């Protein structure tokens, strides 16, 4: 029968660990049930995988308890105004991460950092100036631990997984158990499909609550945020942030899917011990094509000034110039300091620093003709070259 998990036990563990009882509502339970059901039915859970998700799920629930208490103690947090945030989205493997990383180098930008959003999210008590946030080292150790288990992962996600690096918005949406990384990281198809179909209104409410908390401790001029998952929830995102500025990244979808299926396969082998590549190749493109089509339908309702397109090929040729295009479109000042920081980062962080990611479409069971048909609505709209 294998190991079976129960949602209620995670809630009890979080209450015991935190000494708190108010989760700030129970809207998360549907997502938690979907995740637990997917773990129980999509995987033959090992002790190692079960222990990993035990830690992840319990930490999220502890976060909800602690954030709810923090806001009770400091109600002024909810008065923080999140003004005209920039959200970067697009299919996975299309340049969302490097775009956010470069924009985050602007001294006036505020961005989610991995160490503050992937584990304990409540800021620690005030620290002496010479003492670093204790979460930084813990985050670094956790990420290095993942890379030690799967060295090939560094070439796939090395730029993402640095403690001080940029983090995806789904780390915040995870507090409603809306997170695409779990399905991608462990082939949890059931939960991934639930994420693709769920109402994300509550997830963005928690997203905004957490941004206010982070901004209360460390403000700046504007937020620069990113996650491919926004394709599925763009309408709910805009309801929460009506003045949001949206950056769409674009790439030949076949290349994006080859890279994505390879990524899911690599991660699944590390986290579960094996990967069913034909099943991944059938599930992954279908899921993301659905999200992309939904997002483009929402995009059609936006003013041209609220959205800008960035192409993967342009990012490869002139990364800083592509970012400058975003700044010009949204009338954000592009300072010499910001440009210089980007140039220095690009000089010191060539793609080769993070290793290589070699993919073979045939080995991954991906057919160009099938994907051309699946993503025809996208190829007909944007000039992305031939598959």
DSSP string for 110-164? E--BHHHHSS--SPPSPPPTTSPPHHHHHHHHHHHHHHHH-TTHHHHHTTT--TT
> How would you write the pLDDT of the chain (387 residues) with one tens digit per residue?
478 999 999 999 999 999 999 999 999 999 999 999 999 999 999 898 899 899 999 999 999 999 999 999 999 999 999 999 999 999 999 999 999 999 999 999 999 988 888 888 998 777 655 667 777 777 767 776 666 666 665 655 555 656 467 899 999 999 999 999 999 989 999 999 999 999 999 999 999 999 999 999 888 889 999 999 999 999 999 999 999 999 999 999 999 999 999 989 988 988 888 899 999 999 999 999 999 999 999 999 999 999 999 999 999 999 999 999 999 999 999 999 999 999 999 998 876 666 556 667 778 889 999 999 999 999 999 988 644
Q: Which domains can be identified in the chain, with CATH numbers?
A: 81-379 (3.40.50.300)
Q: Quick one: which of 361, 335, 117, 333 has its CA closest to 259? A: 361
193 Cβ neighbours under 8 A, 6+ residues apart: 183, 283, 287
Give the per-residue pLDDT at 353. 60
pLDDT at position 387: 41
């Amino acid at each position: 029968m294998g190991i079976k998990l129960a949602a209620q036990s995670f809630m009890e563990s979080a209450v015991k660990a935190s000494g708190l009882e108010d989760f700030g509502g129970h809207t998360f339970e549907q997502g938690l049930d979907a995740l637990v059901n997917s773990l129980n039915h999509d995987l033959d859970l090992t002790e190692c995988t079960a222990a990993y998700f035990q830690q992840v799920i319990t930490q999220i629930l502890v976060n909800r308890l602690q954030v709810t208490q923090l806001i009770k103690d400091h109600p002024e947090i909810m008065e923080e105004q999140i003004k005209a945030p920039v959200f970067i989205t697009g299919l996975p493997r299309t340049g969302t991460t490097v775009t956010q990383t470069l924009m985050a180098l602007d001294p006036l930008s505020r961005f989610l950092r991995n160490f503050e959003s992937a584990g304990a999210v409540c800021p620690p008590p005030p620290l002496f100036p010479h003492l670093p946030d204790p979460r930084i080292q813990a985050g670094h150790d956790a990420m290095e631990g993942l890379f030690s288990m799967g060295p090939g992962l560094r070439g796939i996600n090395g730029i993402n997984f640095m403690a001080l690096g940029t983090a995806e918005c789904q780390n915040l949406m995870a507090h409603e158990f809306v997170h695409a990384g779990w399905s991608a990281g462990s082939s949890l198809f059931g939960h991934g499909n639930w994420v693709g179909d769920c109402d994300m209104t509550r997830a963005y409410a928690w997203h905004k609550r957490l941004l206010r908390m982070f901004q209360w401790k460390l403000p700046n001029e504007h937020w620069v945020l990113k996650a491919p998952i926004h394709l599925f929830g763009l309408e709910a995102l805009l309801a929460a942030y009506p003045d949001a500025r949206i950056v769409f990244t674009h790439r030949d979808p076949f290349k994006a899917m080859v890279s994505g299926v390879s990524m899911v396969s690599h991660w699944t082998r590390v986290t579960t011990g094996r990967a069913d590549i034909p099943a991944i190749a059938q599930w992954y493109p279908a899921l993301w094509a659905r999200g992309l089509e939904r997002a483009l339908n929402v995009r059609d309702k936006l003013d041209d000034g609220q959205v800008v397109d960035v192409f993967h090929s342009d990012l490869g040729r002139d990364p800083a110039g592509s970012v400058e295009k975003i700044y010009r479109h949204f009338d954000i000042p592009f300072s010499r300091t910001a440009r210089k920081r980007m140039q220095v980062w690009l000089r010191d962080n060539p793609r080769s620093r993070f290793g290589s990611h070699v993919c073979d479409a045939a080995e991954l069971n991906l057919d160009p003709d099938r994907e051309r048909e699946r993503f025809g609505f996208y190829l007909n709209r944007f000039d992305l070259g031939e598959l």
